[in-house]
Amino acid sequence: MLPSQFLLLSVQLMLWFVVLSVDQVEVDSGAESVQLPCKTTVHLPEDIKVVWEDRKGKVHVYQNGSDQPGEQYRYYRGRTEMKINLLEPGDLSLTLKYPTDWDSNTYTCTVYKSEEDILMKKQVELKVKDYQVEVEEGEESVQLPFRTTPDLPEDTTVMWVCSDRTVHLYWNRSDQPEEQHRDYKNRTEMKKDLLKTGDLSLTLKHPKETDTGRYRCRVFNKDVWREKTVELKVKGQYEDTEQRSVCLSVIGCSSLIGCLS
């Protein structure tokens, strides 16, 4: 390659970098909140519209001088906050409460002067780290933590699943033990007043090596939707042979039949 070609290429690469440069934010699953930065160095006019979106839809909308919660989709309902102070140079950063691995995403902040007139566009890439819990077989119990916003609607369903098994179901304002997989019978417990406190953590008693797996908590009613994954690893009391650990990491909580024999 000629030096001039090389120079041209590096200038092109530099330009690409400037254009595509996005803020990266990383946070632990379990943090109370995370801030997605979006700032301008100039004062903004009063009648701006600000739209935060991910690739599925609107995360937060600010228009006519106030938040427009009706426009955001239910996954983010009740979890976002924008502190707008137009007297300062614009800080349009978004606070996202109780982030989980399901929030890992690219977010776009767009500032409109009018429908067609975009003043600014900015991207933020959020990575929420997976939550991992490790425990030894023989312990009394293990907790799979999940905290979200308090005062969830009364008709919210909370469901912990692992692969295709129902680990615990809370529905119609009470636990539904007859719905859970027999392997988890009498072994799970959720907090009292879980919808009021937003503490949806699951206690699993007498964890066994075969409980190892990816546990998902789904929370929903017609207006709300939340999800979180917790990876549980239960270490056996016996020495791990290679085959056993391969089996467990592949199959986890779904079924071990034919794997350990």
Give the residues lining the site for ligand NAG (CB under 6 A): 63-64, 68, 172, 185-186
Who's near 259: CB < 8 A, 6+ residues apart? 247, 251
Nearer to ligand NAG, 12 or 64 (CB): 64
Nearer to ligand NAG, 52 or 131 (CB): 52
Quote the least distance from Cβ 204 to ligand NAG, whole Å.
Answer: 14
- Cβ-count burial 43-81 (b if 16+ within 10 Å, e if not): ebeeebbbbbbbeeeebbbbeeeebeeeebeebbebbbe
User: Residue 37: left if φ>0, alpha if ψ -120 to 50, beta else—which one?
Assistant: beta
Give the burial class of 242: count Cβ atoms within 10 A of its Cβ; 0-12 exposed, 13-18 middle, 19 or more buried: exposed
Nearer to ligand NAG, 68 or 104 (CB): 68
Nearest to 49 by CA among 70, 65, 38, 73: 65
User: What is the spatial distance between Cα 205 and Cα 135, in angstroms, rounded to a whole number?
Assistant: 11
Nearer to ligand NAG, 134 or 154 (CB): 154
Nearer to ligand NAG, 55 or 182 (CB): 182
Note the residue count of the chain: 261
Residue 174 φ/ψ, nearest 5 degrees: -155, 165
User: What is the spatial distance between Cα 32 and Cα 256, in angstroms, rounded to a whole number?
Assistant: 37
The amino acid sitting at 170 is: Y
Quote the least distance from Cβ 186 to ligand NAG, whole Å.
Answer: 4
Nearer to ligand NAG, 152 or 230 (CB): 152
Quote the least distance from Cβ 188 to ligand NAG, whole Å.
Answer: 11
User: What is the spatial distance between Cα 100 and Cα 110, in angstroms, rounded to a whole number?
Assistant: 24
Nearer to ligand NAG, 114 or 186 (CB): 186
Quote the least distance from Cβ 226 to ligand NAG, whole Å.
Answer: 22
Quote the least distance from Cβ 241 to ligand NAG, whole Å.
Answer: 29
- In the block, tokens 């979200």 appear at 148
